[in-house]
Amino acid sequence: MLKFLVANLIIQLLIDSFVIMHSDKTSKFLKKRKITKLTKYHFEDFTESHYKLLLKTAKKNYSFEKFGNRSKGQHIILRHDVDLSVHRSLSLAKIEKKFNISSTYFFRLRCEFYNVFEKSIVSRINEIIDLGHEIGLHFDLSFYKNKTQSQMLNDLKWEKKILSELLDREIPVFSFHNPDETVMPPRKRVIRCIEERSKRTLETYDAILKKSKRKNIH
């Protein structure tokens, strides 16, 4: 448990999604993308092709290390707090695999957008693991208000135990989910997540009826 807690101190020093270190190419790129007003966004930056560019650029000067490694060289610890979609996380995990990069995906036990107890969700998390990535717990303190530090620590241990048993593997690290985060993903991404989830639910319903040879009444 001590290693579990110590690792979190390292986590808090990192950017929530991923860390890209300074290089000549990234410096020029960031200057082009400099945001002068909070209301100005570049949605084209949040695409798979752009993510590939970031990884390719970072690999030129830095190695990618896992939490707990004590590398003395220039390196990046890549992490993802999965707040919206496990399916999109799997897509990123596949991209990272092609670049021979290992990262850590932090999943929430309590989430409005996905359910870690669903068969399809567990299956995709296991796919992420099979691709060589690590799994962590994304702990939401907002579910445990008005509790002492000792009580919250017990709640943290409980969530860690549940996720560990669900995935049949040790969960060595965790990160805090911040309910007061001011930077939110674009509304269309949330809508896409909701629509995809409802689509998969309907597909599951249709598949069950088909398998049991029951009439699907529309």
pLDDT at 132: 92
Q: What percent of the chain has pLDDT over 70?
A: 74
**Model pLDDT for residues 122-176, shown as the tens digit of each residue:** 999 999 999 999 999 998 877 777 778 788 888 888 989 999 999 998 888 887 7
CA dist., res. 84 & res. 190, Å (int)? 7
**Model pLDDT for residues 80-132, shown as the tens digit of each residue:** 988 888 988 999 999 999 999 899 999 988 888 889 999 999 999 999 999 99
Tell me the DSSP string of the chain.
-HHHHHHHHHHTTS-SS------HHHHHHHHHT---STT---GGGSSHHHHHHHHHHHHTT-EE--TT----SSEE--EEEESS-HHHHHHHHHHHHHTT---EEEEESS-SS--TTSHHHHHHHHHHHHTT-EEEEEEEGGGSTT--HHHHHHHHHHHHHHHHHHHTS----EEEE-TT-S----HHHHHHHHHHHHHHHHHHHHHHHHHTT-----
Amino acid at 47: T
**Average pLDDT of every residue of the chain:** 76
CA dist., res. 76 & res. 63, Å (int)? 6
What does the chain come to in residues? 218
